[in-house]
Structure 1
Amino acid sequence: MEFKSKDFTDKQRVLKIRRLKVGLTGRPAAQPVLNEIDLDIRAGETHCLVGESGSGKSVTSLATMGLLPKDALEVQGGLIDLEGFEITNATPNQMRELRARRIAMIFQEPMTALNPVLRVGEQIEEVLNMHTDLSQSEAKKRTLDIMEQVHLPDVERVYSAFPHQLSGGQRQRIMIAMALVLDPDLLIADEPTTALDVTTQLQILKLIAEMQERHGTAVLFITHDMGVVAEIADTVSVMQKGRIVERAPIRELLTNPQEDYTRKLLEAVPNLAPRPPRSEAAAEDVLTVDRLDKTYGGGGWFRKSEGVHAAQDVTFTIAAGRTLGIVGESGSGKSTVARCIMRLIDPTGGEVRVAGTEISQLSRRQLQPHRKHLQIVFQDPYRSLNPRWTVARSLCEGPINFGTPKDEAMTRAAELMELVDLPRDALDRYPHQFSGGQRQRIAIARAVAMQPDLLVADEAVSALDVSVQAQVLELLEDVQKRFGIAMLFITHDLRVAAQICDEVVVMQKGQVVEQGPAGAVLSDPRHPYTRSLIEAAPGRHWDFANFRALSGAPTAQGATA
């Protein structure tokens, strides 16, 4: 198979960064956050910046945008040049004029980047009002035009919607429209697809590529997902501890990485090959879900409606020591099923039996003694851990509430810290003193402290970079082996499901469209929807661990190998 990379040598250089150094404000002697960064991006090029959390990717983008947090970080040396304009010496007024006109940014979480009390159309128009002399009618026309370009449905309706009334993918399209409405020379995309399901992610990646081709925009794409990098990158820079340790065209980097750190990142990328099937030793079913239904809305004083079936006729079982994954797009009903099982919301119909007890109709008081049998690990551990509590208090709260003496609970907490590969003396720290991966380990330890029969992991690794993700998946499997826990694993990433699940349930619009052993469902899908999910998985044509393309991978010309 012959790879031919694009050549950008003759294209206009849009961004030049030389020997960039960023450090703590007022502390020039401290270890720099960014050290001697060099970067070039040319018109029409997609340059991906990859690395683990804390490597300096986002700090590089913030320095380029002139958005480093005041009194925290500062540029201590080097040059950032945008087509002859030196950003490092720009005044605040110059930077405000530069942003949106010549350089724009898409953030990871549009719900926090968009103003929740302004309609999305008004927010796009605000960019035009600040930087152009267009009349109100012209600004609205331009806004509706850019909304159509990013393929939003019914743009007149979406124009008048608030951010919370749109899906995650639609909100991200609004961010892209806002970033590109003034045709900037450089677009910075900071993890714009991390929280999106695979089909929405594919749509967003195609949209960015389409807009880039239409406008000739240079793109600096920041991500920890090497699968995404394989799909979109022309050039890749690998960052580690504030330095760029390797830079190469995408094909060269994937097939012949030079640095151990790059090889480590590639080897950690999960692939779609299902795990070897585990022997099905006779074990009792820990969880039985029978014709579970959850309907939102419906009825009312003056009119009746059927409501929205978030989950309908969902049936499956999980035996002790086994893992069942539920996969599907956002809105497919995955998390609704998980929350019904946990009784965080009440199911409309059906049965949920945990450790031999039917819990779907129990009152909150009746349910209390059974809570210890089922525990959940959420997607964002920083939000699920109390920021005012020490780790020790978080780990001890559940066991103490169920009658465990405090000294015994503390001893158990220390043992759990070792189990999740964290030091015992970290028990007195607070959640903000840990990295994202460490916080997720603490959340797993808190769940295991109750010695549950069932552990529900709801997108528990989707926000983690690939190397930390691999560690957390390994930890979950180790915990399962030690304690024989049944696990329900909710994910939108089929590559992750392939690594950890014994059985897979595929959901679409609240209904189960396919289920069975992971090997059968992921290797030989029967339903068109399952096939579409697999085809949308980023990097599916690459065997990252062995640095080679798989049969069927497209060449640079779009042919098939």
Structure 2
Amino acid sequence: MQFKSRNFDASPVALTAENLTVTLPDTAGQPQVLNNIDITIRQGETVCLVGESGSGKSVTSLAIMGLLPEALQVTQGRINLEGRDLLPLTQVQMRELRAARVAMIFQEPMTALNPVLRVGDQIMEVMELHTELSAAERRARAIAIMEQVHLPDVPRIFRSYPHQLSGGQRQRIMIAMALVLEPVLLIADEPTTALDVTTQKQILSLIAELQRVHGTAVLFITHDMGVVAEIADTVYVMRRGEIAEHGPVEQLLRQPRAEYTRELLTAVPSLSPRAPRPAGDEAVLQVTDLNKIYGGGGLLRKLPETHAAKDVNFTLHRSRTLGIVGESGSGKSTVARCIMRLIDPSSGQILLDGKDIASLGRNALKPHRKKLQVVFQDPMRSLNPRWKVADSLIEGPLNYGTSRREALAEAGRMLEFVGLPEGSLRRYPHQFSGGQRQRIAIARAVMMRPDVLVADEAVSALDVSVQAQVLSLLDQLQQELGIAIVFITHDLRVAAQICDDVIVMQQGVVVEQGSAAEVLVHPRHDYTRTLIEAAPGRKWDFQNFREMTEVNHADPA
């Protein structure tokens, strides 16, 4: 892979953080959140800050922006923006700097944008707060920056509300708001994590293009080493509030010095598919001519119909994993929700252990529910925050007649199986990390001993090392319990590591399907090839790095 090789030694320094230390109150048990952080970002340079959740990446960005929560305090160090120390500034002075000299793009634009204001007005609001431009001038500049971020039909989108736009379009609006005043520094905090690979590639290319035009320094926060390989000039690896190592991207990826960096790199899933499992004789799930159509109704006028899923067919055998991949809006989650009967299919058959459940009513469906379980992307939203873990785990078995004593005993065994201590039963979801919560969600699903487990983007929000652990756990569960898995993902590298067979969907239609090796190694359809080409860091061979690392760390004997 050809890495970026620009030399920034002669470029002006945009930002430095020197000996930056951030602490919690002494009563917190782990008072230091950041410990003597040193970072330098030069004009036009892209610096990637990488590490697992809790490493201090986002705290670093919030400290730079002056947005730390009250519980966190900077107790040591300096943050210099263009030579000006930001730490002594008042909140009024920091508000004047934000957007004008330093701007930020957040991971989830839907929570960062005002839902009741049109997006054009939100871009103009930034200029109204920081410039003396007239209303006409603000509107002209807003339209110009929207065109720069390659939004289609700018007049329409200018008048739109956030909920009327796609995820990629909302993220482009956030980028437009951040760059409309041409700040010296842009901080991007996981801006592509929730996006599919093609939209992610477009956003990454857009940031790089605008950076060249405006000469902006970029601090890009991510846990995706593929993204790092794609865009970084310099990389800082963070662990437990400290810098584990830093250096030019090529040096760090080819010859990492820190063991922690090597662990992050070896955890990155490869696009090389795993060896397929033998197919069992028993077909546990068979989907035939599945259709889901939205629209067509309306009180005053007939609305156009949308085929969210059109004539979908597949068969899933016990102990096998079927991946359904595609962009946002491709129909993959629609298929999953139809299988789960969270929504009603418009037509078609869904045979679960030979029984068609596609049109069963609520009462008739209940005996079959335990055979189908689901793990969603965000366990914090699917676990009841007011219930202890024990209550969440035993709810399903209790509903199907298991005694409380037996259910609690099984919950303890299941937690141990997913790698959590039995004492976790007495704790609440917020007391766990994201990876631990996902293990709890998996344990809850497997408590029912299902025949089919539907995993809907179940690892997309996790760090690469935690992601690898959860994928390994699913593989172990499948081997020991014979569960069949439907795995929904937009990450083809993840699909390669866990799927035996793959379905590729585009606009509700299956455009290609077959074994993972056939689809991912020898794709026949142009759309599949587009998805593979869009995978970040695709040309950097993480699999080869992993094999070299295993050889170098092998026992000399």
TM-score tier by shorter-chain length is over 0.9
Query: Percent identity between the aligned chains?
Result: 67
Please state how far the C-alpha of 1:542 moved relative to its aligned partner.
1.4
Residues 548, 27 of structure 1: alpha-carbon distance in 2 compared, 3 angstrom cutoff: closer
1:307 to 301, 305, 308: 305
The residue that corresponds to 2:39 in the other structure is: 39
Of 304, 325, 328, the match for 1:327: 325
8 Å CA contact 2:3–2:229 kept in 1: the answer is no
**1:256-293 Cα shifts (integer Å, max 9, x gaps):** 0001000000000011101112223x421111110100
Residue 216 (structure 2) aligns with: 217
Q: Of residues 534, 541, 546 in structure 2, which corresponds to 1:543? A: 541
| Equivalent residues of 2:277, 2:319 under 8 A apart | no
1:411 corresponds in structure 2 to 409
Cα distance in 2 for partners of 1:29, 1:311 equals: 51
What is the match of residue 486 of structure 2? 488
Q: CA deviation at 1:544?
A: 2.2
Matches within 5 A, 1:241-320: 241-280=240-279, 282-320=280-318
Q: Which amino acid aligns with 2:327?
A: E
Deviations 1:161-218 (A, max 9, x none): 1111100000000000000000000000000000000000000000000000000000
Q: CA deviation at 1:517?
A: 0.4
Does the 8 Å contact 1:100/1:179 carry over to 2? yes
Is this contact kept in 2: 1:543–1:549, CA < 8 A? no
Q: 1:7 matched to which residue of 2?
A: 7
Query: In structure 1, how many angstroms separate the alpha carbons of the residues matched to 2:547 and 2:329?
Result: 33
Q: How far has the Cα of 1:364 moved from its partner?
A: 1.1
Partner Cα separation in structure 1 for residue 349 and residue 278 of structure 2: 28
CA distance in 2, matches of 1:201, 1:142: 26
- Alpha-carbon distance in 2 for matches of 1:283, 1:305: 45
- The one-letter amino acid paired with 2:38 is D
State the match for 2:497 in structure 1: 499
C-alpha separation in 2, matches of 1:299 and 1:277: 45
What's the counterpart of residue 168 of structure 2?
169
Q: Do the aligned residues in 2 keep the contact of 1:542 with 1:549 (CA within 8 Å)?
A: no
Q: How many angstroms does 1:31 deviate by?
A: 3.0
Distance in 1 separating the partners of 2:183 and 2:164 = 28
Please give the alpha-carbon distance, in whole angstroms, between the structure 1 residues aligned to 2:422 and 2:502.
36
**Does the aligned pair in 2 maintain the 1:254–1:548 contact within 8 Å?**
no
- Give the letter for the 1:160 counterpart: R
1:156 match: 155
Closer, same or farther: CA 2–441 of 1 in aligned 2, 3 Å: closer
Return the alpha-carbon distance in structure 1 between the equivalents of residues 469 and 282 of structure 2: 29
Give the Cα–Cα distance (whole angstroms) in 2 for the partners of residues 426 and 301 of structure 1.
Answer: 52
Unpaired segments ≥5 residues, structure 2: 549-557
Match of 1:559 in 2: none
CA distance in 2, matches of 1:519, 1:378: 26
Letter in 2 for 1:323: T
1:138 is matched with 137
Distance 1:495 1:187, change over 3 A: same
Aligned to 1:554: none
> Could you tell me which of 506, 509, 522 is aligned with 1:508?
506
How far off its partner does 1:546 sit? 3.8
* Alignment correspondent of 2:123: 124
* Structure 1 unaligned residues grouped into runs of 5+: 551-561
Contact 1:506 1:530 survives alignment (8 Å): yes
Counterpart residue identity of residue 384, structure 2: N
2:553 corresponds in structure 1 to none
Q: Distance in 1 between matches of 2:353 and 2:221?
A: 44
Alpha-carbon distance, 1:366 to partner? 1.2
8 Å CA contact retained: 2:512, 2:528: yes
* CA contact 1:116–1:164 (8 Å) conserved in 2: yes
Going from structure 1 to structure 2, the CA distance change for 1:29 and 1:431 (only over 3 Å counts) comes to: closer
Q: Which amino acid aligns with 1:371?
A: R
Q: Report the residue type matching 2:69 in the other structure.
A: P
Please state whether the residue corresponding to 2:370 is helix, strand or coil.
Answer: helix
User: What is the CA deviation profile of residues 222-265 of structure 1, one whole-angstrom value per residue up to 9, with x for unaligned ones?
Assistant: 00000000000000000000000100100001110001000000
Q: 1: distance between equivalents of 2:2 and 2:483?
A: 47
- CA shift at 1:343, angstroms? 0.6
Aligned to 1:556: none
The AA in structure 2 aligned to 1:96 is R
In 1: Cα distance, 2:329 partner to 2:133 partner: 38
Q: Distance in 1 between matches of 2:6 and 2:206?
A: 20
Name the CA distance, whole Å, in 2 between partners of 1:306 and 1:260. 56
Task: Give the aligned length.
Answer: 548
Aligned to 1:203: 202
The 1:364–1:544 alpha-carbon spacing in structure 2 relative to 1, beyond 3 Å, is same
Offset at residue 102 of structure 1 (A): 0.3
1:97 paired residue number: 96
**Offset of residue 354 of structure 1:** 1.0
- Please give the alpha-carbon distance, in whole angstroms, between the structure 2 residues aligned to 1:2 and 1:154: 35
Structure 2 Cα separation of the partners of residues 400 and 2 of structure 1: 57
- SS of the residue 1:462 aligns to: coil
Could you tell me how far apart the structure 2 residues matched to 1:77 and 1:119 are? 41
* SS in structure 2 of the partner of residue 97 of structure 1: helix
Distance 1:28 1:337 in 2: 45
What secondary structure, in the 3-state scheme, does the structure 1 residue paired with 2:226 have? helix
* Residues 37, 359 of structure 1: alpha-carbon distance in 2 compared, 3 angstrom cutoff: same
Task: Indicate how the Cα distance of structure 1 residues 27 and 401 shifts in structure 2: closer, same or farther if over 3 A, else same.
Answer: closer
Q: Report the 3-state secondary structure (helix = DSSP H, G, I; strand = E; otherwise coil) of the residue aligned with 1:89.
A: coil
Answer yes or no: is the 8 Å Cα contact 1:268–1:545 preserved in 2: no
Q: TM-score under structure 1 normalisation? A: 0.96
Q: Check whether the contact 1:108–1:190 (CA below 8 A) recurs between aligned residues.
A: yes
AA of the residue aligned to 1:375:
Q
SS, match of residue 207 in structure 2: helix
* Aligned CA distance change for structure 1 residues 549 and 6 (closer, same or farther; 3 Å): farther
Q: Deviations over 1:306-327 (max 9, x none)?
A: 5100000000010000000000
RMSD over aligned Cα atoms: 1.6
Looking at structure 1, the residues matched to 148 and 535 of structure 2 have their Cα atoms a distance apart, in angstroms, of: 24
Question: Deviation of residue 545 (structure 1)?
Answer: 4.7
- TM-score with structure 2 length normalisation? 0.96
In 1, Cα distance between the equivalents of 2:220 and 2:444? 35
Matched, 1:400 2:398: yes
| Conserved? CA contact 1:46–1:234, under 8 Å | yes
Cα deviation for residue 304 of structure 1 reads: 3.8
Q: CA 1:3–1:197 in structure 2 vs 1: closer, same or farther (change >3 Å)? A: closer
1:543 Cα deviation from its structure 2 partner: 1.9
Q: Contact (CA 8 Å) 1:541, 1:549: kept in 2 or not?
A: no
Alignment match, 2:58: 58
CA shift for structure 1 position 549: 13
Q: Partner amino acid for 2:453?
A: L
